[in-house]
Amino acid sequence: MGHPESGNRVRLTATTPEGAVTHEGILLAPAASEHLTVKLDNGYNVTFAESEITEISIISDAILPDETLNSNVPEDPNLPEIWIIHTGGTIASKVDYVTGAVAARFEPEELLDAIPELAKHARIRTVKLGNMWSDDIRARHWNAMMVATKDAFDSGAVGVVITHGTDTMHYSAAAAAFAWAGNGGRPPGRIAFTGSQRSSDRGSTDGTENLLAAVHWAAHGPAPTGENGDASVIIMHANSNDGACAIMPGCSTRKFHSSKRDAFQGINAQPLGMVLVGRSGDCQIEMEVRTPTRDVTTKPTSFDEGKRILQLVAGAHMYADQIEFASNYDAILFHGTGLGHLPIEDSNGDSPENVAMRKAVADYCTNGGIAVMVTQCIHGPIHMDVYNKGREQQELGILGNHATTGPDAALVKLHFLLSTNQDVQAGWGADLCGENGSSIFN
């Protein structure tokens, strides 16, 4: 059947098992052949087979979002300066009304145009490092973020906000914490990471409140101590409702859900506080303020981009040749079961693979290999003293006993220790910036 071009606003009627339905919206490139896809005003898409459509009409020609920037957003000279460092992600996304895809293609300057309430909280400068999907980010990008934060602080900014895709935001936040506070100091100003679980074209987007809260924190939050997880923070929705964003320690937080607004939670740690966001864009910080005792770090530590860490997950498909392959890497991070265990015993006499695993681990560690244990359980400590197997693993040379560092921050911490040529065993037992606290929370 013939139909209007993508980008036109249309009204269509289609037959469904529940009866006829009528929708209005912008016609997109079809999700499948011989189908029509329409973006509704609430941001969601609906798709129907052409054979199901009984009527379609054009309401108006292509109506695309206004791309004109408002360069006249007033700036209050009395407000503190913060930088928004843009790396990409859903917080800075637009829908392509021809293809229907959500693409990360906001320029940083568009953020202020899209959310003029930001000007209430700070004088904003923007830096664009890229429009990367967060799963493409590597250590070189951590370093680039840290260079940008240093530039911001050197230029007089009191804080920075790094807009980031949510899928790996917790890795980058941990990297910032170790870079600025891992050697015993604290950053010159506040560093907040934020993103959005819902793209900006959807009515349920959380990006606006997250960004408002992060900017307010960067401009008006307390001075970071560097030792309780506040060297960098993640600021995202505290629950599924609007109005409150949690301030979470950057070195002990992870993304726990693929799509919920409140996807981020602490690992063995509680939120540092809340930023309450009003309907008019006003914000209020609620948290306990601590007095810093560390000296300010003037330059962040860089990560050695040549370091390679092999991550292996304990289970029925772990084999000795995986350990043997580790000779190409600088260290192994084991994601063990429970309190930190690997399949290295053959109590029934029917699993020679486990015996081979034990030998491979022993050979690796004996030859100078670095092996560290974290738990697949996410929460809780590594405790390789409880069971005999755990004690045997320690004798083989596996490190990490008693640590409470979460598995994601552990990867970054191991990279940091290798980058700075520190003794991994001593460094692993230390609490460098709040990642390895002594208290365990449910």
Provide the CA 155 distance to its chain's centre, in angstroms.
26
Which of 94, 163, 167, 225 is an active site residue?
167
Distance CA 313, CA 326 (A): 14
Q: How do beta strands 19-28 and 9-16 pair?
A: antiparallel
Put residue 250 in one of left, alpha, beta given phi > 0 → left and psi -120 to 50 → alpha: alpha
The structure tokens listed for 410 are 């552990």
CA-atom Rg of the chain in angstroms: 25
What is the three-class DSSP state of 390? Answer: helix
What is the three-class DSSP state of 250? Answer: coil
The structure tokens listed for 199 are 């793209």
Distance CA 350, CA 318 (A): 16
Active site residue 167: yes
Q: How do beta strands 94-95 and 102-103 pair?
A: antiparallel
Distance CA 90, CA 298 (A): 32
Which of 94, 150, 255, 413 is an active site residue?
255
Candidates 373, 326, 329, 304; CA nearest to 138 is: 304
Which of 37, 39, 87, 90 is an active site residue?
90
Q: How do beta strands 102-103 and 123-128 pair?
A: unpaired
Q: What residue type is 237 in one-letter code?
A: H
Distance CA 308, CA 305 (A): 8
Active site residue 16: no
Active site residue 76: no
Which of 37, 149, 163, 166 is an active site residue?
166
H-run or E-run covering 372: strand 371-375
Candidates 12, 11, 5, 50; CA nearest to 28 is: 5
Distance CA 59, CA 312 (A): 56
Active site residue 307: no
Catalytic residues: 90, 166-167, 255
